[in-house]
Amino acid sequence: MERGSNYRLLKMKELLFNETDDFHELGIDEISEKLRLLFGEEMAFDNRTLKHDLKILDEMDFEIVKNKGKFGKTLYSHQSRLFETYQLRLIIDAILSARFITTNEKKKLIKKVKQLTSKYIAKTLPEPILFSQSANIDYELVKLNIDCVHRAISERKVLTYQYGKFNVHKEFEFHRNGATYHVEPYALIWQNDYYYLIGRFQETNEIRHYRLDRIRNITVSENDFTKMDNFHLQEYVNQSFHMFAGEEIRIKIRFHLDLVNVVLDRFGQEVDIKQIDDDHFVLTTKAKLSDGLINWILTWGNQAKVLSPDYLVDEVKEKIEQMNAVYDNETKKGKR
């Protein structure tokens, strides 16, 4: 079957997308030769016809850039892209850093991302073989869970599933004796290398979050739900992932100057910090009182000291005494 002008136009568009960009251009003779190779050796193209095709593509919002090359030769290229190069790099780096995506799947995804730009720019983007293997997570399971959660959020349908975690023998154990969870899905977020479902657990009417790789036997029910008006996603994420759950209190902590960036990463650039000597600064902020906060403070050893409130100082001291007791007991057992 003879291929008409519409097919030629599509092939020219594909050719310019793949083989031209800001730094690579083609003359009309080069375009003609590349099209001839695509269509077959017996094909020939009139330059006037090809120039007319280029004009049509430009009028169809597939921008064609014309420049003058050596000896007055006219060069053509397509430079407008949906994604800038740095944006493609951001996408690929996000794919590479996702622990739940298998190496094989990363290769497939990156290959597709590279099709969003010219072959020359694609060659400059990173390859997955330069990075370590993904974590041993059932990727097929996570993919299914993502699809179900995404659909349920879009359609405002209640999700049902079982939930659990692995024990010390690496066996998966269900929570609540394998009982079914009924959850109204509010959001799907990616935090700390994992996907989390945030939603209202109907049994207790609480907002909770669940790791997708720990969800089993998920289904989208036929039951509709209405989202709570007073739910604020950013506030929940800040309290449950970036900060800690619990009563909000005002704290003062002295840190070594080496931890300035650690504190700014945790509390944000607007947080109140003041240098007090050559080696230390003081953080003053509001935080959620919890074991998570205390454990985070203890992470920094003698480089962090709570100044106020007094009851937080006492709780940190008590935690340190408990830690000392663990090692004291072990030492005593060893001497027996």
CA nearest to 253, candidates 222, 287, 229: 287
Give 48-63 pLDDT, tens digit per residue: 999 999 999 999 999 9
Instruction: Please report, rounded to a whole number, the percentage of residues in the chain having pLDDT higher than 70.
Output: 91
Question: Pairing state of beta strands 26-27 and 194-201?
Answer: unpaired
pTM of the predicted model, to two decimals?
0.63
CA nearest to 146, candidates 200, 197, 95: 197
pLDDT band for 7, please (50, 70, 90 cuts): confident
What's the rounded Cα separation, in Å, for the pair 245 and 288? 6
CA 209 distance to own-chain centroid: 17
Single-letter amino acid, residue 61: D
Q: What share of the chain is helix, strand, coil (3-state, %, to 5)?
A: 45, 25, 25
What's the rounded Cα separation, in Å, for the pair 107 and 285? 44
Contacts of 184-188 with C-beta under 8 Å, sequence gap 24+, read: 184/158, 184/159, 184/225, 184/227, 185/149, 185/152, 185/153, 185/157, 185/158, 185/159, 186/153, 186/227, 186/231, 186/233, 187/153, 187/233, 188/146, 188/149, 188/150, 188/153, 188/212
What's the rounded Cα separation, in Å, for the pair 207 and 228? 10
Mean pLDDT of the chain, nearest integer: 87
> Which pLDDT score, from 0 to 100, does residue 197 have?
95
Give 293-334 pLDDT, tens digit per residue: 899 999 999 999 999 999 999 999 999 999 999 888 766 666
pLDDT band for 291, please (50, 70, 90 cuts): confident
The pLDDT of residue 64 is above 90: yes
The pLDDT of residue 102 is above 50: yes
Instruction: Please report, rounded to a whole number, the percentage of residues in the chain having pLDDT higher than 90.
Output: 56
The pLDDT of residue 150 is above 50: yes
What's the rounded Cα separation, in Å, for the pair 240 and 287? 12
Give 249-273 pLDDT, tens digit per residue: 899 999 999 999 989 888 878 889 9
What's the rounded Cα separation, in Å, for the pair 296 and 283? 14
* 144 C-beta neighbours (distance < 10 Å), count: 14
Whole-number Cα distances in Å, 120 to 16, 24, 110: 12, 8, 15
DSSP string, 27-78: EHHHHHHHHHHHH-TT----HHHHHHHHHHHHHTT---EEEE-GGG-EEEE-
pLDDT band for 110, please (50, 70, 90 cuts): very high
Give 9-42 pLDDT, tens digit per residue: 999 999 999 999 999 999 999 999 999 888 876 6
What's the rounded Cα separation, in Å, for the pair 103 and 137? 12
> Which pLDDT score, from 0 to 100, does residue 185 have?
96
What's the rounded Cα separation, in Å, for the pair 185 and 208? 10
The pLDDT of residue 129 is above 70: no
Average the pLDDT over 153-171 and give the result.
Answer: 91
C-beta of residue 129 within 8 angstroms of C-beta of residue 205: no
> Which pLDDT score, from 0 to 100, does residue 235 have?
80
> Which pLDDT score, from 0 to 100, does residue 40 have?
74
* 96 CB-side CA count, 13 A: 17
DSSP code, position 232: -
Q: How would you classify residue 321: left for phi > 0, otherwise alpha for psi between -120 and 50, otherwise beta?
A: alpha
Give 192-234 pLDDT, tens digit per residue: 778 899 999 999 999 999 999 899 999 999 999 999 888 888 8
